Structure 1
Amino acid sequence: MSTQTKFHSADFDKTPPTFASTLPDRLVHRGVEKEDTRAAYSVERKHPVHFVDLPSNAVSVTVGGLAPGGRSNRHRHTYETILYVLEGRGYSMIEDRKIEWEPGDALYIPVWAWHHHVNADAEKPARYLACENAPMLQNLGRLAIREEEK
């Protein structure tokens, strides 16, 4: 059971005037794409996902990929996502909008929007960096929800 103090709107005056910074032990995750510690997650989503394991309480980062001609499952979630395309060419369907992408492009996936990603190249893989605010929502009370279309 958590002993953390819960604050509400009438507690704004309890905001401390100073903050003590705590430096975590782990500041680097080397070889992110060399590890495959969550293979089941990748299999379920039909594309590789490599988790960046660092102690952020607000933002998660993953390196995702799509096989040549591959696509992700259609899904939605209660957290925001920004994708930065590292390599490959393809498109994402965000609700009914087709957004084409190539290396150097960044895409925004809004909260609870149905979406999936497609690698349009039949010969080369696609890779992207995904940044999401799911940990922040989880820390606020399990508000990070993901739904896969069956």
Structure 2
Amino acid sequence: METTEKTKPAFTSKDFHQTFARPTFVMPDKLIHRNVEQAGEHNQFSTERKHPVFFVDLPTKNVSMTIGGLLPGQLTNKHRHTYETVLFVLEGHGYTEVEGVKVEWTAGDAVYIPSWAWHRHQNLNDTEPAKYLACENAPQLQNLGVALREEEGRDL
């Protein structure tokens, strides 16, 4: 077993027996992200998805949270990703289509989007925006190097 500059072990397949649980607590630099929406939209993601997205900027390594919005009447492109998503609807009324199945939602509902399922979202109100919290295990898969995202019509 070799060590890196930070003396962190670099395990190989022959070291599988050395993976004992040794949890340690490390105090992160940041425990709170105040006024998330006041920090502004995530420019690249909001532009690509064509609707407002606000990232909760905390040092999580396994889960992420974003505040997403759908403009009045907006229908997003179909897309899929290797990470799971749970949406909690804060405002509005619309639907999420998962592999051709439409699930209508309204404020207070939670919607599950399985890994690698084609899906899209629509705000059914033509005058008011919709807003939701999206919780995903994307950072965990990114840290493992297996997070993929595919947009229909762009990546196919």
Q: Which amino acid aligns with 2:97?
A: M
TM-score normalised by length of structure 1 = 0.90
Structure 2 Cα separation of the partners of residues 84 and 53 of structure 1:
18
Consecutive unaligned residues in structure 1, runs of 5 or more: none
Cα displacement string for residues 92-122 of structure 1 (whole angstroms, at most 9, x for unaligned residues)? 1101100000011111101110000000011
Structure 1 Cα separation of the partners of residues 18 and 44 of structure 2:
46
- Structure 2 residue aligned with 1:149, among 142, 146, 152? 152
8 Å CA contact 2:89, 2:107 repeated in 1: yes
User: What is the CA distance between 1:34 and its match in structure 2?
Assistant: 1.1
Structure 2 Cα separation of the partners of residues 53 and 129 of structure 1:
14
User: What is the CA distance between 1:52 and its match in structure 2?
Assistant: 0.6
Larger radius of gyration: 2
| Aligned counterpart, 1:130 | 134
Structure 1 Cα separation of the partners of residues 107 and 12 of structure 2:
43
1:6 and 2:8 are equivalent in the alignment: no
Q: Taking structure 1 as reference, are residues 132 and 31 closer, same or farther at Cα in structure 2, changes over 3 Å only?
A: same
Aligned alpha-carbon RMSD (Å): 1.8
Identical positions, percent: 53
TM-score normalised by length of structure 2 = 0.87
Moved more, 70-79 or 112-121: 70-79
User: What is the CA distance between 1:25 and its match in structure 2?
Assistant: 1.6
Q: Taking structure 1 as reference, are residues 83 and 7 closer, same or farther at Cα in structure 2, changes over 3 Å only?
A: farther
User: What is the CA distance between 1:40 and its match in structure 2?
Assistant: 2.5
8 Å CA contact 1:46, 1:71 repeated in 2: no
Structure 1 Cα separation of the partners of residues 113 and 48 of structure 2:
20
User: What is the CA distance between 1:37 and its match in structure 2?
Assistant: 5.3
